[in-house]
Structures are given as C-alpha cells and as structure tokens.
Copies of this chain bind each other. A is one copy, B any other.
Amino acid sequence: MSTADTPATAPVPALDPRGDIVDLAAAIVDIESVSGNESALADAVEQALRAHAGHLTVQRDGDTVIARTDLGRPQRVLLAGHLDTVPVAQNLPSRREERDGAEVLWGRGSVDMKGGVAVFLQLAVLAEDPPVDLTWVFYDHEEVAAADNSLTRIAREAPQHLMADFAILGEPTSAGVEAGCKGTMKLDVTARGKAAHSARDWVGDNAIHKLAPVLQRLADYQARTAVIDGLQYRECLNAVLADGGVAGNVIPDRARLTVNYRFAPDTTPAQAEAHVRELLEGCDVEIEVTDSAAGALPGLDTAPARAFLAALGDGVRIDAKQGWTDVARFSALGIPAVNYGPGDPLLCHTDDEHVRVDELRDAVATLGRWLGVGD
C-alpha cells in the first residue's frame, strides 16, 4: 500500500526508525492501538519499513506487517512483536519521567510491548547484512482471545510466512531471556443442587456449599515446580472466578468455579486435565475443560538458540517464562522460541506502565551486535 492509497480519514504519523530509540518508542506509544484499532500503527510501521529498508520485502496482511530478508543464509530467525495494547487507562500520551534515579518512558504499551516493537523496527532497518536471514513480524490482536490473534490466522492460512529455525518474541523480559512457557487450561467446576425457598432449606440442596471441599483442596494444593534445561517452571492451580445462586431467598441449585491451571511445559493438556480431575476426585461436581493451550519447552539446546545466547554474552539472565505467550505457537510449529525484550513484565497492563530508557538502548545494542549492525 502506497501513501497515495491511504484513505484521507486520518493522517498516518511518520516514524523515524533511524532516529533515537527512545523517541521512536515514544512515537509508537503515542499511536493508540488498543486491540482492534491497530490500523494506524500498522500503517506507520509499514511506511517506515518501505521508506527506510530497501533490503526487506514488505507484506501487509490485515493489520499485520511482515518484512523479510532473502540473503540465502543457512538459517532464518523470526522476530515478532504485537502492535496492540490493552485498553488505555488515562496513561496516554507518553511522558518521560525519572524513577528511582533512572529515566523511564511512561505510557500504555511502553512495556507490553511497544518498547520491543521500537527495538525491532529500528533493527529491521539497520540490520542490512545479518548473519542469518530475518523475518520481522509486527502483528495485531495479541491481547484478546487466541482465536482473534493474527498469528493464529497466518499459521492457518499462510504458515510459510512464519517458517524459521528460531523465533524471538519481543515481550518484556527486562532484557533477559525467558524461555519456553507454561501451558494454561481453564476448567468449569460446577456443583448442582436443588432450589428451594431459603426458609425451608430441608427440601432443597445447596449447590454453593458443595464447593467447600473443592476450594479446600485448591487452598491446600502444593504446586509442582518442574526443572527443564535448568529452568524452573512453577505450576499454579487456582479458582479465578466464582458464581452461584439466583436470589437472596433461594437455595442455590447451581454454583460454578472457573479454575485456571498453569502447567509446566513437560505436561500435555491431557495430562493436565487428568491431574485436576484426580485432585477433585470424589467432590460432587462436574468438571469441563473450556480452554487449553500447551506450553512450550525452552529449546535452548538448539543450534540457533545457542548462537543467539552466545551473542548476548555470559551476563544475560536466562529464566523460565511463567505466563503463556505466543512462543507456544511457534513451539507448536516446531520452531524453538524465546521471549526477549525491554521492560519489567510485572508492569504489563498496569496503569503505571513504564520502561527504563537504558533497557531500550541496551536491547538495541545487544541484538544489534548479534545481527551485525554497525559492523
């Protein structure tokens, strides 16, 4: 799409991918892109790549922009970042502030993950002669249901765009490497009883009371920590939602817990389900899996992963990724993948979201060394 084709509805802010990384990140943060509203930012990214990166083949697919080198290198690495954010909470436009003596960029998306998007956009332009072929993916609809995630669509409709020997997701990791991820499963645990007037409970059967042993077992549960490739994946099993009853004067005939199980990547969804069913054995409830996604093994022993880690140097922190991320999508395609990006993951989705400026600069320098920028 050329600039001339852009509808006249809103001008696309121009990004300068060769300028200061903090200015670039701030400009990207300031293009609001809550999930479903990524078009303006996708336009800006696409135009920046077309204007500044003649060494890349640029494709637009919906609000996803894919840019790739084709240098005939023996290996290909994919670097992906999502363009969307969770809803704005009076935290736009961005500001530069000082926190604990460090300069930060504050605003929605600064951590999750427009800091990473800025780093990738700059390196996409600068890395003209990398040691591996590169595929840069800037995608939409990550912060919403998996079915709407554009990686889901592309993996189904055009998986060749995602093929690579190794993938890096720019999710915030405080510029450490977070490898693999745990799986996640949601289960509805439903108790049924018999409605009655609450002044005559002996003709009814209280469904909410039947949740007592379920909650006690969850409260008492000692979660396993799996150690894989030296990384610790700490499992979590929790009731996250509860609802039951119909009125203040009626014995409830139905009560439900939504249980979320985050299981280590050495466990399949089927094994995870069996584990929960075993834990709740004998409770008078029905159990139904409503959603599940396998985790991803860290894959740090693969050749391209080792090359990436070697480029980062001995000082880099390597942890297990606890939350499910899109690395699992690449794992499902047989592509080892890690998370690596600027920003403290504990600040994701918070109203006080902010990224340290030195983490942005370090990420550009570190990845740039690996990709031969400035050689």
Range of interface residues on chain A?
35 or more
Inter-chain CA distance A62–B7, complex, in Å, is 60
CB-nearest residue of chain B to A210: B219
Closest chain B CB from A169 CB (angstroms): 15
Question: Does A230 sit at the interface, judged by CB under 8 A?
Answer: no
Nearest B residue to A322, CB-CB: B199
In the bound assembly, the distance between CA atoms of A109 and B238 in angstroms comes to 45
Question: Given that A242-B243, A249-B260 are known contacts, is A236 also in contact with B323, CB under 8 Å in the complex?
Answer: no
A interface SS class: mixed
The reply to whether B201 and A236 contact each other, CB–CB distance below 8 Å, is: yes
13 residue pairs A–B, Cβ–Cβ below 8 Å: A184-B249, A199-B322, A202-B236, A206-B218, A208-B240, A209-B219, A212-B219, A216-B216, A241-B246, A241-B247, A243-B243, A243-B244, A249-B260
Distance A204 CA – B74 CA, assembled complex (angstroms): 45
Whether A198 lies near B262 (C-beta < 8 A) is yes
Docked CA distance A238–B249 (Å): 10
Interface residue? A304 (CB, 8 A): no
A239 touches B198 (CB 8 A): no
Contacts of A1 in B (CB 8 A): none
- Smallest beta-carbon distance A294→chain B, Å: 14
Chain A residues numbered 312-330 whose CB sits less than 8 Å from any CB in chain B: 322-324
A residues adjacent to B (C-beta < 8 A): 182, 184, 186, 197-203, 206, 208-213, 215-216, 218-219, 223, 234, 236, 238-252, 255, 257-258, 260, 262, 291, 322-324, 346, 348
Contact between B216 and A212, CB atoms less than 8 A apart: yes
State whether A208 touches B245 (Cβ < 8 A): no
Q: How far is the CA of A240 from the CA of B346 in the complex (A)?
A: 36
In contact, B238 and A248 (Cβ under 8 angstroms):
no
CA–CA, A250 and B242, complex, Å? 12
Bound state CA distance, A184 and B209, in angstroms?
Answer: 19
Q: Which residue of B lies closest to A325 (CB)?
A: B199
Cα(A236)–Cα(B243), bound, Å: 21
CA–CA, A62 to B326, complex, Å?
63
- Among residues of B, the one whose C-beta sits closest to the C-beta of A199 is B323
B208/A182 in contact, CB under 8 A: no
Residues of B within 8 A of A244 (CB): 239, 241-243
Please give, as numbers and ranges, the residues of chain B lying within 8 Å of A200 by CB-CB distance. Answer: 234, 236, 322-323
Q: Closest residue of chain B to A247, judged by CB?
A: B240
B258 touches A199 (CB 8 A): no
Chain B contacts for A240, CB-based, 8 A: 198, 208, 245, 247-252
Per a CB cutoff under 8 Å, which of B213, B216, B251 touches A238?
Answer: B251
Whether A248 lies near B239 (C-beta < 8 A) is no
Report yes or no: A239 in contact with B252, Cβ–Cβ below 8 A: yes
Residue of B nearest to A234 (CB): B202
For residue A111, give the distance in angstroms from its CB to the closest CB of chain B: 13
The interface centre, meaning the residue of A182, A209, A213 with most chain B CB atoms within 10 A of its CB, is A209
Chain B residues within 8 Å of A243, by CB: 242-244
